[in-house]
């Protein structure tokens, strides 16, 4: 089984763009095998609902030009901030 990461430029045209509708992935975000996240089946249908609720409350919400910040970690790329304006 082949996996890609959501930020793989060889697999995605715009790997750094947040696209919650992206469906052409086989990523490891929720783990695999015995490490599979137990909350994944709940998170998958809830995420679009949560994003829709935020965007309906803040319709002018947009990303700023400021670069997101990441936790320094050699095993997991963990974003600690995403700057938005509304």
Q: What are the Cα distances from residue 47, in Å, to 32, 40, 63, 64?
A: 20, 10, 18, 22
Q: What confidence category does residue 35 fall into, taking pLDDT thresholds of 50, 70 and 90?
A: low
Confidence label for 20 from pLDDT (cuts 50, 70 and 90): confident
Q: Distance (Å, rounded) from C-alpha 11 to C-alpha 28?
A: 14
Q: Using CA atoms, how far apart are residues 59 and 53, in angstroms rounded to an integer?
A: 10
* Greater model confidence, 55 or 22: 55
Structure confidence at residue 53 as a pLDDT band (50, 70, 90): very high
Please indicate whether residue 66 or residue 2 has the higher confidence score (pLDDT).
66
Average pLDDT (35-63) is 87
């Amino acid at each position: 089984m082949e996996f890609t990461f959501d930020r793989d430029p060889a697999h995605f045209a715009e790997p750094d763009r947040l696209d919650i509708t992206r469906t052409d992935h086989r990523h490891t975000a929720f783990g695999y095998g015995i490490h599979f996240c137990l909350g994944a089946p709940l998170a998958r249908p809830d995420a679009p609902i949560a994003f829709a609720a935020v965007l309906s409350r803040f319709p002018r919400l947009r990303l700023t030009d400021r670069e997101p910040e990441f936790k320094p970690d050699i095993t997991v790329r963990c974003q600690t901030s995403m700057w938005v304006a509304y």
